[in-house]
Amino acid sequence: MKRYLLYLNTNSSYHSYGLLLLRIIGGSMMVYNHGWGKITAGPEKWNRLGHALTDIIGFEFLSTFFGFMAAFSESVCALLIVIGLFTIPASILLSFTMFVAIMNHIIDNEMPELAIMYCLLSLVLIVSGPGNYSLDKKWFSKIKN
Residue 46 CA to residue 128 CA, distance in Å, equals 31
pLDDT of residue 9: 63
For 105-120, write each residue's pLDDT tens digit. 999 999 999 999 999 9
Rounded to the nearest integer, the mean pLDDT of the chain is: 90
Distance from C-alpha of 102 to C-alpha of 119, rounded to nearest angstrom: 9
pLDDT in tens, 85-95: 999 999 999 99
Whether the CB-CB separation of 101 and 66 falls below 8 Å is answered with no
pLDDT digits (tens, 9 = 90+) for 46-86: 999 999 899 888 888 999 999 999 999 999 999 999 999 99
- Indicate if the alpha-carbon torsion angle 51, 55, 56, 57 is positive or negative: positive
Q: What is the pTM of this model?
A: 0.86
